[in-house]
Amino acid sequence: MMRIARGVSAFVLCSAVVASGLWAQDEAEEGWVSLFNGQDLEGWTPKFAGSDLGVNYRNTFRVEDGLLRVAYDEWDRFSGEFGHLFYKEPFSHYRLRIEYRFVGEQVTEGPGWALRNSGVMLHCQPPETMGIDQSFPVSVEVQFLGGDGTNERHTANLCTPGTNVVMGGELITRHCTDSASKTYHGDQWVTVEIEVDGGTTIRHLLDGQVVLEYDQPQLDPNDGDAKPLIEAAKGELALTGGYIALQAESHPVEFRRVEILNLEK
C-alpha cells in the first residue's frame, strides 16, 4: 500500500492519484479479471477434510470488510480439518495475482509447521473427486509462509501433494522446495504472481522477480490420492491444467486480491 508522508504537496498527491487511476485502467485493458467479488463467496466452493463438498466448516471461509478471510474464531481446536476453497472453473495458461497477509493467532492444536502457513493450489483435481477425509487436493501448491519475527522463512515456495515436477532436467520428488524470496515478517500485505504455461513452465514471482521456476507438473504414480486420477486418465501423468484453490491450514489469513489474466490461445 502506498504511504504518503505528512505535509506532502497537493501536486504530489494529485499525481499519485492520477498514476493509480492509470495503473488500474492499464490493468483492465490488459484483461485481468478478479475471481473474488469483494462481497461474498460466489463462484467458490469449500471442501474440508471430514466434510462433504460445499460445507463451510465452522464458517471458516467468509467475506468481511471487502476481504476474503480464513477465520478460526468459531473453532475450539484443530483436529486435522484442512480446508480448501475451489474456484468454479479450471484454467491452463494464465497469470495469477494474489495479495495476502497473515493475522492473529493460530487455532489451538494447529500443527507447528502450519504456523503462518497458507497457499494457493494450482492444477487441482476436480473438488468432487476428493475423498471425504482427503486433507489436500492432488495439485501443485504455491506455499505462502509468514515470518515468525526472528528466523528466515521464505514464501512462494513449492509443495507437491500427489504430484512431482522437473527442475533443471531432474524429476523432483521431495514434497517442498524453498523459493529464493526474502522473509516477510508481521502482518504486512504480500503480493505473489504466478505464471502458468499449461503443462510446461510455472514461475513464482515476488516484487517482479522470479523466485522459483519449474517444469512438467505431473501426477505422482506412488501417491495414493493420485492413483485413481492416473487410472481415470488411462495412465497419463502430465498435468496441463486444473482448478485453483485457496488454503485453510489452521492460521488466520486474509486475501484482498485474487485475480487472473487468462492466456488461453
pLDDT digits (tens, 9 = 90+) for 26-47: 444 589 999 999 999 999 999 9
- Ranking 10-14, 55-59, 67-71, 100-104 by mean pLDDT, the lowest is 10-14
State the chain's mean pLDDT as an integer: 91
- Residue-wise pLDDT for 113-144, tens only, equals 999 999 999 999 999 999 999 999 999 999 99
- Residue-wise pLDDT for 10-30, tens only, equals 333 333 333 334 344 444 458
Closest CA to 133 of 45, 220, 47: 47
CATH code matching the domain that covers 37-262, chosen among 3.20.20.150, 3.40.190.10, 2.60.120.560, 3.10.450.350? 2.60.120.560
Q: What's this model's pTM, rounded to 2 decimal places?
A: 0.89
Confidence at residue 264, expressed as pLDDT on a 0 to 100 scale: 87
User: Cβ distance 155 to 178 under 8 Å?
Assistant: no
Q: What is the mean pLDDT of residues 197-207?
A: 97
d(CA 165, CA 156): 16
Q: What is the mean pLDDT of residues 198-213?
A: 97
d(CA 23, CA 6): 24
